[in-house]
A and B are shown apart, each in its own frame.
Chain A
């Protein structure tokens, strides 16, 4: 596989989580997971007002770390 193909796979995986945590947990399946509670938060509500933002940050740094590793291999 070329560097670009690996990059596309990596991107798709991370964008899947991007979609899942915001549009999924925060909006579409919010009702189905709201029986789970953290503190006073129903999980769906927490994802839509707090959690998704934390996940976004993790996704960017994860991508940055993984793709830099791919890039270093590619340069060798």
Chain B
């Protein structure tokens, strides 16, 4: 059977499964819709959280990113997992004990102010929309690459599927489909990784193969990789190339950002009690770690394998996968020295950042380029980082069903994250803005209807962003984490650990964090991108890591304002005491 047909079958079956689950677990009340009736088993919630958390970017791009960043890629590994420690120890159990539906709910009540609630809704919507646009785009890309439909069509199909199960099932439907999506996703990730590990080191566990000796040799894989890439002019794989302060701040911004992301926090509102919330965060991290500890192993295997099969190989002998991905346009080769062999080294092969293909082919069958050759580097090969995961099954010579599985896994990753984000956006609109602030008289039935409407509209907007991606989607991911770290995390933390923090302090803190982080990122990413280097950064901290400074400013502002304002009312102090009590 052809790969294409198999992919259709796998993707079709997985979609049927998701819709089936959604119909079986329809939401009947706002309690079901917002927090799945608060009856989700902690292990199931852990799995759902892992699926919610691991987006198209984690599944498709992370290993590729680490393969090329080497040691610097550690910031993502530590940053996106370490946040769960903060979540489990500092936030999740207390927010669950509080027992309402959304993150702005807590902020509004703890800081006895609808202004604080609305400011937090604004932060939440901004953070979540940044994220969801990327997911819909991911759905479109997987569709177009594996099923040969247009990206637009792919996005529309993806929107349709999410619409069915998110609008119908709410949190309840999403939770159980995410459990299924996690299983599809992790299976699809591990199979190629295990085969690659066996192929290179003979060790079936990628995490161990990563630190093992190469097959039939006395050299460790990492040492070989380090030596190979240093010889090609790259900086060493095992050493940081960014400054330590920047590495430190990016890792911290990602950690505090993760702990402050609303769509992750609300997942812990669905379990029965605060003890379950803690354990559930532990299970979530176990399920996430399975992928996150495999990714750096895959990264090193793929980098070494790529260099081995390409470096100084004549184009005629290049492996099939090289030519397949060249046809799709994600690999290119420019024979600068006219020797018919591919030379790979540091530096860009051409002046432009992406290959521009001409219509005809060279004498060896390679696709010719219209790019201008970069004479300062001898590198002839262009490689898009994103193909590392997608091309793995082919690189490892795996059967075609594995390729089909990876396509289904990539879709599962994108859809599960999109659905989770969709729900926090729609519930913050229907619950926090309408029910709690502007239309307090509406009935539960009406609120449920508004929640579904809001979810529908959000899907349409997200889909539009996926079809007409603003050029800055990739640029603004730093926003989501930086903003979550500098706005929501400090306010949630102080709301639990300090009885004295006042509403003025919370509003001032959130606005300071928001304005500072937002302006810093906008300045370096959009207004003056030419200044975006360590000479111009504040204390040498890049826009990706600046959220930490925003967080510190937020805390300082809160402490200062708290000192000079009237302390919170008795009822709020009682509320804090209640959520601390086991």
Contacts and interface: CB of A to CB of B under 8 A. Distances in A.
Contacts, number: 117
**Most chain B Cβ neighbours within 10 Å, of A11, A53, A61:** A53
Given A40-B223, A56-B84, A22 B71 contact: no
Given A11-B90, A39-B212, A60-B85, A48 B78 contact: yes
Contacts of B212: 39-40
Contacts of B281: 60
Contact of A60 (B71, B78, B84, B293): B84
Contact of B82 (A52, A63, A70, A75): A52
A63 B81 CA distance: 16
B24 interface: no
B282 A28 contact: no
A34 B137 CA distance: 41
B220 A60 contact: no
A53 B81 contact: yes
Contacts of B569: none
Contact of A64 (B240, B248, B282, B580): B282
B311 interface: no
Chain A interface, DSSP helix/strand/loop, else mixed: helix
Contacts of B220: 39-40
B98 interface: no
B213 interface: yes
Contacts of B221: 40
B77 interface: yes
Contacts of A54: 289, 293
Contacts of A38: 211
Chain B interface, DSSP helix/strand/loop, else mixed: helix
Contacts of A41: 210-211, 222
Given A27-B247, A27-B248, A63-B89, A56 B81 contact: yes
Contact of B293 (A26, A50, A61, A75): A50
B78 A14 contact: no
A33 interface: no
A63 B289 CA distance: 18
A15 to B, nearest CB: 7
Contacts of B240: 27, 30
Interface in B423-461: none
Given A11-B89, A54-B289, A64-B88, A22 B238 contact: no
9 contacts: A11-B90, A22-B251, A22-B255, A41-B222, A49-B71, A49-B73, A49-B296, A52-B82, A61-B279
Interface of B: 66, 71, 73-74, 77-78, 81-82, 84-86, 88-90, 207-208, 210-213, 220-223, 238, 240, 244, 247-248, 251-252, 255, 275, 278-279, 281-282, 285-286, 289, 292-293, 296, 580-582
